[in-house]
Chains A and B, each alone.
Chain A
Amino acid sequence: MNDLHTASKSDICLVVNGKTLTFRAFPMERLLDVLRTQIGLTGTKEGCGEGECGSCSVLVDGALVNSCLIPVLQASGTRITTIEGLATDNRLHPLQQAFLDFGGAQCGICTPGMILASIHLLSKNPQPTGADIREGLSGNLCRCTGYMQIFEAVADAARRGTP
């Protein structure tokens, strides 16, 4: 962390929520910090800073990634989806709507990561069983809900068929 500023800045190019961004950043800065402070997308949350809780999950080229573990240089050239990139024309993504309807969000701090993990799960497995959902979300910790209402939200979105 403290060696961050001893290196010089590099050119970084990211496609974030469909928008191409080029800027300079210290290569070892965490993708999480760059998203939150440099790009201003604060919907991605830090929970533990060590890749255990999944609150900082984003999609990098479709893969679910803990953005607290990725140096920004490593992400350069990729397409990134954050929670801010899901709703279109003010219409919620079906998973966002399902989380709202079924009580999948309580305090909301794990919610962005949890929704992205759910999208990732359904992209790999559009009709998951209950066990698949439990397993698929086990990298994202939630302290409020006890998970059950999150499972219901994901199962409902799967039934409806998410885009």
Chain B
Amino acid sequence: MNMNNDRIVGKSVPRLEGRDKVTGASRYVDDMELPGMLYGATVRSRIARGKIKSISFLPTVNWDEFVIVTAKDIPGKNCIALIGDDQPCLAEELINHPEEPVLLLAHPDRNLLATAVEAVSIEYDLLPPVFAIEESEKLSEIIWGTDNIFKSYLIEKGDIENAFKSADYIVEAEYTTGAQEQLYIENNGMIATFDPQQGVTVWGSLQCPYYVHKALMELCGWPENRVRVVQMETGGAFGGKEEYPSMLAAHATLLAIKSGKPVKIVYDRMEDMAATTKRHPSRTRHRTAVSKDGKILGGEIEFTIDGGAYKTLSPVVLSRGALHAGGPYYWPSVRIRAKAVATNAPPHGAFRGFGAPQSLFAMERHMDFIAQTLGISPIEVRRRNFLKPGQTTTTEQVVNEQIDLGKLLDRALELADYRAKKEKFTQGNLSADKKKGIGIAAFLHGAGFTGSGERYLNSLAGVETCPDGAVRVLVSSTEFGQGTKTVLCQIAAEALGVRFEDVSIAQPDTQKVPNSGPTVASRTIMVVGKLVHSAALAILQTLRSNGLLSEVYSPDEFRDACRKHVAQHGVFRSLARYQQADDISWDEENYRGAAYAAFAWAVYIAEVTVDLSSYSVTVDDFVCLQEVGRVLHPVLAAGQIIGGVAQGIGFALYEKVVWENGRMKNGQMTNYIMPTSADIPPIRVFFEELGNVHGAFGAKGIGELPMDGPAPAIVNAITNALGISFNSIPLLPEDIFEALSANGLHDVAPAFADSKQ
């Protein structure tokens, strides 16, 4: 027990690395220069599918000055190791998408690279490409495996045939979402150095040091001690730096090995947008059996995502999407079929929410459609179907958190003044040429890796004592804006009863920190935070058992004890390894059981105006109410929610990837539009705090949750304003114009409702 009554968790302490960020002192990868460094560039295919016939180097460039790397220079396996190891580091013969890396160039003058890249001429034998989910499903071309399917899942619960037999209504619709670019403001970048004795070191902008580590070990065929990965300050990631940094690190490494010099590769914006991963485009089909009082009896959900050319992370994105497809509702029976298909586009990948924003968009639009079909309010249809403690999810996981979604909904409605506004808008819209609408979305988000994922990760985190009596947190979990460093230090400080200033955190460096798993899946505070807590408590125990610390102590006494312990025994490194709780059991084969250790829950409400002269939509007000367990840092937590909502607004209304033969055609900030400060409504953030046994000090995951709700809430609001159903995002002014022209403003006939009454 410490005498320091000021709790540190729950307080908005200063962001640990904040001072360096506001003074420009933070070091990002492009801020680092090494003596004799070369700059690297990538020559990519410019066709979607085919075979390389020949490569020639045009004589306009003095090639003797350049380092040139091809697949033949790879010392180990030509793949970027991840789940399936199917993505080559450099194409040897077969080309599967139009941004496929073919060869690498390096030169001391970065200004000469663009011309050199253009002077490499590649001839191909073309093969017919596949660009959309529907084309891939037709199997007219087999581009991956035997059936173009990277992965499929089947989730079954109860007797859906019986549900359809006893249904009063069967409500059917299809929903689609587009690709979305993460658009972190710092482009991907990496520096590699090679030493024949020590091996390779890479410094980069990345989320998951040990993913890069594993990929480089396989690429080079080297043991773990010959590969070192260090994270530099990272200028945003959002999932976009989960897997692609392994590719970039591999390229920089090959150039460094061949040249014997340090090599830096930093993409420019166009290359980053075109070549690196984006959110998976999706299609969801719902067929739902509903009773006349609005209760879901059962349903079929078919969730399909476009994985692009290689498997990469698609199986796990698909899994999360499928596991969230039923939303926060009780399904007595359900059949969810999910599949990820191959197309000849660059591989799609991780982006905040990881499949859930796609399937939840469909679920939450579908709830409004059910309400409309039955003629009951969107609020009531949700309330009547909300999951309750003791009930089971689609995978038959028992809800054992004491969540009251009805209460959460009521509070959100009150905060948004929903009923009064809805009434007012309905009246006002009759004559106005600016139509107003209000829409809601209710949703959940599972924290941590799915099912047995955390058990396989087997994460290790540490806290060590320092000679000056302070302590240092040791994790491979990375900071890229979320506040990882700050909150993990808060947790350690709170556990030890010391001041926030007495705790520091090591730079993520695979030579210095244990593998605490990837920084993804809203797992850092809940899972890694808990390990940091345990590791910190073991330090306390050690100091006490050595008689250096009494039951009650001050932070100064702790420092003193710590200092003495280091003097006597050297630095003490306390490590804690993840142990799955007994109540988390998961049947991977049948996709049944406890999919997540904990869920965060939320109700979001959007208010919009649709201008009938420009067909543009503005979001006027946005209420977000969520239950995320204990809030450990109110300012950072609110920052996560607001930032996620802004990205959700972009997902819904602005961010459209225009494809041309598998390439992103609008890969510039000029023509791929993300929300600016002028596009953001007041985003009002509210928390309920129930606490949670699985996370440090009761915290659950928070980072991904706010990405799930905005798009359906906004589109529900637009549908409310115009009386026309919109089932695809992004929803741009031209789409609204087209729908209004086709339907006439007041045509609300549900296109696919099939009433059996």
Contacts and interface: CB of A to CB of B under 8 A. Distances in A.
A92 B482 CA distance: 23
B23 A107 contact: no
Interface in A103-126: 103, 105-112, 115
Contacts of B675: 146
Given A100-B15, A107-B234, A138-B678, A47 B646 contact: no
A52 B643 contact: no
Given A87-B23, A99-B22, A103-B636, A146 B644 contact: yes
A42 B31 contact: yes
A83 B31 CA distance: 14
Contacts of B678: 134-135, 138
A99 B480 CA distance: 17
B643 A145 contact: yes
Contact of A105 (B22, B31, B115): B22
Interface residues of A, number: 59
Contacts of A37: 33
Contacts of A149: 635, 638-639, 642
A122 to B, nearest CB: 15
Contacts of B642: 145-149
Given A107-B236, A144-B481, A47 B19 contact: no
A150 interface: yes
Given A50-B269, A87-B23, A134-B677, A107 B235 contact: yes
Interface string B627-645: 0000000011011001111
Interface string B445-470: 00000000000000000000000000
B111 A43 contact: no
A53 interface: yes
Contact of A45 (B111, B186, B647): B186
B420 interface: no
B645 A146 contact: yes
B361 to A, nearest CB: 19
Given A2-B115, A146-B642, A146-B683, A43 B15 contact: no
A108 B646 contact: no
A3 B615 CA distance: 44
Interface string A121-163: 0000000000001110111111111111111000000000000
Contacts of A84: 23-25
B32 to A, nearest CB: 9
Nearest to A37: B33
B376 interface: no
B635 A141 contact: no
B368 to A, nearest CB: 25
A38 to B, nearest CB: 12
B687 to A, nearest CB: 15
B31 A145 contact: no
Contacts of B643: 106, 143-146
A44 B111 contact: no
Nearest to A42: B31
A147 B23 CA distance: 19
Instruction: Give the dominant DSSP class at A's interface.
Output: loop
A82 interface: yes
A36 B115 CA distance: 23
Given A44-B24, A47-B186, A84-B24, A106 B680 contact: no
B645 A105 contact: no
Contacts, number: 176
Contacts of A45: 28, 185-186, 235
Contact of A143 (B234, B674, B677): B674
Contact of A92 (B19, B238, B639): B19
Contacts of B12: 103
B31 A107 contact: no
Contacts of A110: 185, 235
Contacts of A115: 22
B668 interface: yes
Nearest to B272: A48
Nearest to A47: B185
A144 B482 CA distance: 8
A133 B18 CA distance: 22
B584 interface: no
A2 B269 contact: no
Given A47-B186, A92-B19, A106-B481, A82 B668 contact: no
Contacts of A71: none
Interface string B59-96: 00000000000000000000000000000000000000
B7 interface: no
B185 A141 contact: yes
A103 B635 contact: yes
Nearest to A144: B481
B676 A100 contact: no
B704 interface: no
B24 A107 contact: no
B268 interface: yes
A138 B677 contact: yes
A112 B26 CA distance: 11
B112 interface: yes
A21 interface: no
A100 B26 CA distance: 14
B730 to A, nearest CB: 16
Interface in B565-593: none
A99 B12 CA distance: 13
Contacts of A4: 111
Given A45-B185, A146-B680, A1 B670 contact: no
18 contacts: A43-B23, A48-B668, A49-B269, A52-B668, A84-B24, A92-B19, A97-B22, A99-B22, A103-B12, A103-B638, A106-B236, A111-B21, A134-B680, A137-B677, A141-B185, A143-B238, A144-B639, A146-B642
The 8 closest A-B pairs by CB, nearest first: A43-B24, A109-B235, A108-B21, A107-B481, A146-B646, A83-B24, A106-B481, A146-B642
Interface of A: 1-2, 4-5, 36-37, 41-50, 52-53, 55, 82-84, 86-87, 92, 96-97, 99-103, 105-112, 115, 133-135, 137-151
Given A103-B12, A107-B235, A108-B20, 6 more contacts: A36-B31, A45-B185, A55-B185, A108-B21, A108-B235, A146-B642
